[in-house]
Amino acid sequence: REKVEMTKEQRALMKAIVDAYNRHQIPQDVAKKLLQEQYSAEENFLLLTEMATSQVQVLVEFTKNIPGFLSLDREDQIALLKGSTVEAMFLRSAQVFSRKMPNGHTVVLEERIRKSGIPDEFMTPMFNFYKSIGELHMVQEEQAILTAITILMPDRPYVKDHQAVERLQETMLNVLRKLCVLQHPQEQQYFARLLGRLTELRTLSHYHAEMLTSWKMNDHKFTPLLCEIWDVQ
């Protein structure tokens, strides 16, 4: 088979994306906190709203490092961010959940999340997604570029210049395709399987508003930012 090589530009682009991705370490905090103790549904809801609020800010910073993003139409930039924050949060949650942890920690983490206040009917689709991401054993470069691809989805609502977004996404897809061949040479269809998870991610993200509004507690308070981003209240 032909030798797959990344161009200098592709390697530079990948490095920029991975550095930006790694600069933000919220996920460790949330997993660490959850492993410390079982919180009440109210405390977990508050933790989620805090985590999600800071995750949006982190996502804005990350997105600024995607080459070409800031040259997009300003309103399209907002539409892409608004349309992808929930998916990015679930993708990040899946990556946190499937991170290699000391024995028994993943079991405890799953238990704590199962009792966090999220309605039971969402547990199966959510953990199926987390485990399907885990099975891929993505390297951090793949995780970072997959997040960039999720943000650069041309078919988000209200995006005007589809073509411009498609061009940026295509650049990322080309890098990811080569990366998958280089990182997983034995698995012919690894790249296709990886992209297939984005479909599962979108389906899971459809549930998020209901997951939040039916969180097992009364009086769900959202920050103004989350009302804007999460289609709640």
Ligand X SMILES: O=C(Nc1ccccc1)[C@H](C1CCCCC1)n1c(-c2ccc(Cl)cc2)nc2cc(F)c(F)cc21
Q: Which residues of this protein are in contact with ligand X, per CB under 6 A?
A: 26-27, 30-31, 34, 44, 47-48, 51-52, 55, 89, 92-93, 96-97, 109, 113, 116, 118, 208, 211-212
* Closer residue to ligand X in complex, CB, 13/94: 94
How far apart are CB 58 and ligand X at their closest, in Å? 8
Structure tokens at 35: 């492993």
Q: Is 217 left (phi over 0), alpha (psi -120 to 50) or beta?
A: beta
How far apart are CB 113 and ligand X at their closest, in Å? 5
* Closer residue to ligand X in complex, CB, 47/195: 47
* Closer residue to ligand X in complex, CB, 171/205: 205
How far apart are CB 121 and ligand X at their closest, in Å? 13
Could you give the CA distance from residue 43 to residue 28 in angstroms, rounded to a whole number?
18
For residue 41, count other CB atoms closer than 10 A to its CB.
15
How far apart are CB 189 and ligand X at their closest, in Å? 27
* Closer residue to ligand X in complex, CB, 31/179: 31
Contact of 12 with 138, CB cutoff 8 Å: no
How far apart are CB 122 and ligand X at their closest, in Å? 7
- Please report, as a single letter, which amino acid is at residue 173: L
For residue 121, count other CB atoms closer than 10 A to its CB.
11
For the chain, how long is the longest CA-to-CA vector?
60
Task: Tell me how far apart the terminal alpha carbons of the chain are, to the nearest angstrom.
Answer: 54
* Closer residue to ligand X in complex, CB, 191/207: 207
